[in-house]
Structure 1
Amino acid sequence: MSGTLLYAQSGGVTAVINATAAAVIAEARARKIKVLAGRNGILGVLREELIDTTKESAAAIRALAHTPGGAFGSCRVKLKSLEADRARYERLLAVFKAHDVRWFLYNGGNDSADTALKVSKLAAEFDYPLTCIGVPKTVDNDLAVTDCCPGFGSAAKYTAVSVRECALDVAAMAETSTKVFVYEAMGRHAGWLAAAGGLAGKTADDAPHLILFPERPYDEADFLKQVKRVVDRVGYCVVVASEGIRTADGNFVADAGGNKDSFGHTQLGGVASFLAGRVKDSLGLKVHWTLPDYLQRSARHLASKTDLEQAMAVGKAAVQYALKGMNATMPVIKRISDSPYRWKIEPAPLEKVANHEKKMPAGFIRKDGYGITAAARKYLEPLIRGEAPPPYGRDGIPNYVELKNPIVRRKLADWKE
């Protein structure tokens, strides 16, 4: 079988996205297929900065599976419609042709699935033999069709464990010090990670005592009333708040100056500090807060074994689907049973994934809006199960791999926007 496979990473990385990359490369090597990787995602493809993965040893590729970050670099570059961004799409096609790329695997979220779908349509228009596969990844767990997203399970495990540990700290100090602790979780429109924080406790008096979801409008007066009730009853209150919570009129509670990222999304961050300020000013309680931010998605040392296995499974399946010519497809996770937890990989059309957002089901949020239900716990718990620690060196630091990432010789003129 002749031709080259091109793999690229997109958007925010996860603790296990490199595990997907490792599985892609290993499966392709087993089938004697050369793999190139875009340096910094689709941006590297446009610039014809393509990494030759054949220069990496088998041991280095295996080590990718326990290394966080994005080994080849990622980017936030959103391509518009084929009509509005035609020059970029035609440049991509020119790069594919120059390097005999017959299979394109784009590892990302909603926008990446959309890009892979559009590239497949352009290739068909020019009658170029290209199979495009979207490979799922996101800590937000908001991709449609798939039961869960590789990357989410590990971020969820980090969230649940961190909330549990912080709660023990707060409980120890509550008599004379901190009464309220606010933990900010990622999640622009979907509260999956905030919900994962709910796994830290099992009873009404266990932390987190209150969870704020973007699926429910933020009511400050009611929130403050709930905080006071919990403090009066338990002695302290732990709050998990999604970064994407909004007021009833639709405005983000944490809008960092109205800035936008490369995907056109409002730049969020700071909801925990805002809530902490309101609690302190209104209730006069001592408050601490935290913004884990990148820690949620980079904590490979606390990865979920389930998540790692699923990340590698979608990478392997992506190569298999590509070589079978299953164009405009994504390997997704299908849950077979909850107990025992069983799952499998199956194909889904990119059209059903691209630009569709999966939010928390209403049945996963407690009726009062401040916690998760038994149904949510049943769904979430299997995703954080199992440990898959990286190997540690004598210095006490994990042995993460850094690839050589040599760039292949360019064949086209420099790309200029």
Structure 2
Amino acid sequence: MPAYNAFYAQSGGVTPVINASAAGVIQTAAQYPEHIKKVYAGQDGILGALQEELIDTSLEAPADIEALKYTPSGAFGSCRYKLKSLEEHRAEYERLIAVFKAHDIRYFFYNGGGDSQDTAYKVSQLSESMDFPITCIGVPKTIDNDLPFTDCSPGFGSVAKYVAVSILEASMDVASMSSTSTKVFVMEVMGRHAGWIAAAAGLAADQRELGPDIILFPEIEFNQTDFLQKVDETVKRKGHCSIVVSEGAKYPDGRFLADSGVKDAFGHAQLGGVAPVVTNMIKQGLGHKCHWAVCDYLQRAARHIGSKTDVEQAYALGKAAVDLAVQGANAVMPTIVRTSNGPYQWTLGHAPLADVANVEEKLPRDYISDDGFFITESARAYLSPLIQGEDYPPYTRGLPNYVILRKQKVGKKLPDFKLS
């Protein structure tokens, strides 16, 4: 069997460890010269294929590829661009196949969440019908931790560590000033439909009553009366209250507390910030002085405090994607399989892309306390191993020494393509 080129792309919101998966793909592909000649990376994700902006990763210094293991963001650029359905816009998929043909690409590694796994699956199916079969392997990634079939999603463990540390430190700050200043602190975290990140903040709570006192999950309908009563009781008992709220917290009728009325590129509601909404409720309902913060990009860019477990799993899944491809697998996604909780042990598996695509794995109800405001011991047992271990980047002059790649592109062979 002749060797072919491979295409790798990063998709959607980036994570602290997505580049570790990139390193896993690139370094492992180099171990199979009889199967893979070069790995081309898409400039700005799938747009790189559509616009024939292909980065030749073989021209990067090996040390720089190694440095991807501790570098945050998307080193090759990512994008929020969802391909239409095959029925709606077949031309985009045909363009992908045309670019792959022109550059002798027969392997496609797509590093993303549920939408990305759907795209990889569709490309695998279309390529067969066009008599140019492409091996398509999804590489899981999402800080939301909502992909099915895998014990966890790369990126989540590091974000979980960041939010748990952040609410721990902020709660100690509020406690120290509460007698004369702020009584309530509200921290907003990501999580549109699944409350995994918000739940992870609960790891900071311990017998000393540090960390968050209240967590608002997307899975639990928001009741303002019950919420304000819980805040009031906590302030009266402790003198202060720390709250973590998921951006996807919603009312019983399904409306997000912070729905701005705008849609993003994937057709999802653009959320306008739930922390100030919740803070205003507390101020108006209880009269307490409050501060709020939105973690936003900080949580998904915080590689300086990355989870060692997360880094190792992200790299392993990138490596496994290539291993699966050269072994003949197609239209699958490598997964993490938990084999033991104490001590935490895991191995690798894989799942069909057809079953993974566009499925959201929400926080189980038994991970949320009966009153809906905190996590259970079952949640703690699941979450705790994922934030274990430190894997600090090297520092220069007091700052992390992150790598910026050269990103040299190969010459174009096709006419320009107009995006719809």
Does TM-score exceed 0.5, indicating one fold? yes
Q: Secondary structure at the match of 1:13?
A: coil
One-letter amino acid of the counterpart of residue 379, structure 2: A
Structure 2 Cα separation of the partners of residues 206 and 18 of structure 1 = 33
Structure 1 Cα separation of the partners of residues 253 and 215 of structure 2 = 20
Structure 2 Cα separation of the partners of residues 30 and 411 of structure 1 = 28
Q: Write the deviation string for residues 202-241 of structure 1: whole angstroms up to 9, x where unpaired.
A: 2484331000000000111111111000000011000000
How far off its partner does 1:170 sit? 0.5
Structure 2 Cα separation of the partners of residues 303 and 205 of structure 1 = 25
Q: Say whether residues 1:312 and 2:338 are aligned partners.
A: no
Structure 2 Cα separation of the partners of residues 87 and 170 of structure 1 = 56
Q: Write the deviation string for residues 4-62 of structure 1: whole angstroms up to 9, x where unpaired.
A: 01000000000000000011100011222310000000111100000000100110100
User: Contact conserved, 1:207 with 1:237, CA < 8 A, in 2?
Assistant: no
Q: How does 1:392-407 map to 2 (within 5 A)?
A: 392-393=395-396, 395-407=397-409
How far off its partner does 1:134 sit? 0.6
Q: Secondary structure at the match of 2:270?
A: coil
One-letter amino acid of the counterpart of residue 365, structure 2: A
Q: Say whether residues 1:390 and 2:393 are aligned partners.
A: yes
Query: What does residue 135 of structure 1 align with?
Result: 139
Q: Secondary structure at the match of 1:259?
A: strand
Structure 2 Cα separation of the partners of residues 366 and 282 of structure 1 = 24
Query: What does residue 31 of structure 1 align with?
Result: 32
Query: What does residue 97 of structure 2 align with?
Result: 93
Query: What does residue 246 of structure 1 align with?
Result: 250
User: Contact conserved, 2:334 with 2:349, CA < 8 A, in 1?
Assistant: yes
User: Contact conserved, 2:192 with 2:248, CA < 8 A, in 1?
Assistant: yes
Gaps of 5+ in 2: none
How far off its partner does 1:121 sit? 0.5
Gaps of 5+ in 1: none
How well do the aligned residues superpose, as a CA RMSD in angstroms?
Answer: 0.9
Query: What does residue 165 of structure 1 align with?
Result: 169
Query: What does residue 240 of structure 2 align with?
Result: 236
One-letter amino acid of the counterpart of residue 140, structure 1: D
Q: How does 1:170-249 map to 2 (within 5 A)?
A: 170-203=174-207, 205-249=209-253
Structure 2 Cα separation of the partners of residues 293 and 401 of structure 1 = 23
User: Contact conserved, 1:133 with 1:328, CA < 8 A, in 2?
Assistant: yes
Structure 2 Cα separation of the partners of residues 12 and 412 of structure 1 = 29
> How many pairs are equivalent?
415
User: Contact conserved, 1:103 with 1:323, CA < 8 A, in 2?
Assistant: no
Query: What does residue 363 of structure 1 align with?
Result: 366
Q: Secondary structure at the match of 1:267?
A: strand
Q: Secondary structure at the match of 1:30?
A: coil
Query: What does residue 328 of structure 2 align with?
Result: 325
Q: Write the deviation string for residues 69-95 of structure 1: whole angstroms up to 9, x where unpaired.
A: 000000001112111120000000000
One-letter amino acid of the counterpart of residue 413, structure 2: K
Structure 1 Cα separation of the partners of residues 149 and 40 of structure 2 = 28
How far off its partner does 1:325 sit? 2.2
Q: Secondary structure at the match of 1:344?
A: strand
User: Contact conserved, 1:183 with 1:289, CA < 8 A, in 2?
Assistant: yes
Q: Write the deviation string for residues 336-366 of structure 1: whole angstroms up to 9, x where unpaired.
A: 0100100011111011110111000010000
Structure 1 Cα separation of the partners of residues 278 and 342 of structure 2 = 38
Structure showing the higher strand proportion among its residues: 2
Q: Secondary structure at the match of 2:400?
A: coil
One-letter amino acid of the counterpart of residue 335, structure 1: R
Structure 1 Cα separation of the partners of residues 211 and 14 of structure 2 = 28
Q: How does 1:71-150 map to 2 (within 5 A)?
A: 71-150=75-154
Q: How does 1:13-32 map to 2 (within 5 A)?
A: 13-32=14-33
Structure 1 Cα separation of the partners of residues 222 and 48 of structure 2 = 41
User: Contact conserved, 2:172 with 2:210, CA < 8 A, in 1?
Assistant: no
Q: Taking structure 1 as the reference length, what is the TM-score of the superposition? A: 0.98
One-letter amino acid of the counterpart of residue 385, structure 2: P
Structure 2 Cα separation of the partners of residues 213 and 69 of structure 1 = 26
Query: What does residue 10 of structure 2 align with?
Result: 9
Structure 1 Cα separation of the partners of residues 177 and 283 of structure 2 = 17
Structure 2 Cα separation of the partners of residues 358 and 204 of structure 1 = 32
Q: Write the deviation string for residues 372-396 of structure 1: whole angstroms up to 9, x where unpaired.
A: 0000000000000000000000x11
User: Contact conserved, 2:168 with 2:210, CA < 8 A, in 1?
Assistant: no
